[in-house]
Chains A and B, each alone.
Chain A
Amino acid sequence: MPKIATRDAYGEALAELGEEIKEIVVLDADLSKSTKTNVFAKKFPERFFNMGIAEQNLMGTAAGLATCGKIPFASTFAIFATGRAFEQVRNSICYPNLNVKIAATHAGITVGEDGATHQSIEDIALMRVLPNMTVISPADATETKMAVRAAAQIKGPVYLRLGRHPVETIFGEGYEFKPGKGVILREGRDVAIIATGVMVAEALKAAEILEKEGINAMVVNIHTIKPIDEEVILKAAECGAIVTAEEHSIIGGLGSAVAEVLSEKKPVPIKRIGIRDVFGMSGKPEELMKAYGLAAEDIAEAARTLIISKP
Chain B
Amino acid sequence: MQVSKEKLEELTKAARKVRRSIIEMTAEAGSGHPGGSLSCADILVALYFHEMKVDPQNPDWPDRDRFVLSKGHAAPALYAVLAERGYFPKEELKTLRKINSILQGHPDMKKTPGVDMTTGSLGQGLSAANGMALAGKLDGKSYRVYVLLGDGELEEGQVWEAAMAAAHYKLDNLTAFVDHNGLQIDGPIAQVMSPEIIQEKFRAFGWHVIDVDGHDFEDILRAIEEAKSIKEKPTVIVAKTVKGKGVPFMENQVDWHGKAPSKEQAEEALKALER
- Which chain A residues have a beta carbon within 8 Å of chain B's beta carbons? 25, 46-47, 49, 51-52, 54, 56-57, 59-70, 72, 87-88, 91-92, 95-97
Contact = CB atoms under 8 A, between A and B. Distances in A.
Contact of B131 (A47, A56, A68): A68
B135 A65 contact: yes
A61 B120 contact: no
B57 interface: no
Interface stretch (B156-164, B185-193, B207-215, B266-274): B156-164
Interface stretch (B17-25, B109-117, B216-224): B109-117
Contacts of B132: 64-65, 67-68
Given A52-B164, A88-B124, A64 B138 contact: no
B130 to A, nearest CB: 5
B118 interface: yes
* Interface SS of chain A: helix
Contacts of B138: 25, 46-47, 70
Contact of B110 (A63, A88, A97): A97
* Interface SS of chain B: helix
A61 B131 contact: yes
A300 B131 CA distance: 49
B86 to A, nearest CB: 22
A68 B162 CA distance: 18
A50 B21 CA distance: 43
- What size tier do the contact residues of chain B reach? 35 or more
Contact of A92 (B62, B128, B135): B128
Contacts of A67: 66, 109, 116-117, 128, 131-132, 135
Contacts of A68: 62, 131-132, 135-136, 139
Given A65-B132, A69-B62, 16 more contacts: A56-B127, A56-B161, A57-B164, A60-B124, A61-B165, A64-B117, A64-B129, A64-B132, A64-B134, A64-B135, A67-B116, A67-B135, A87-B121, A91-B118, A92-B121, A92-B127
Given A54-B165, A69-B62, A96 B118 contact: yes
B100 to A, nearest CB: 17
Contacts of A25: 138
B249 interface: no
Contacts of B117: 63-64, 67, 92, 96
Contacts of B62: 68-69
24 contacts: A49-B134, A49-B169, A51-B161, A52-B161, A56-B124, A56-B161, A57-B127, A57-B130, A59-B127, A60-B128, A60-B158, A61-B130, A61-B165, A63-B128, A64-B117, A64-B132, A64-B134, A67-B132, A68-B135, A68-B139, A70-B138, A88-B124, A91-B121, A95-B118
B65 interface: no
Contacts of A47: 138
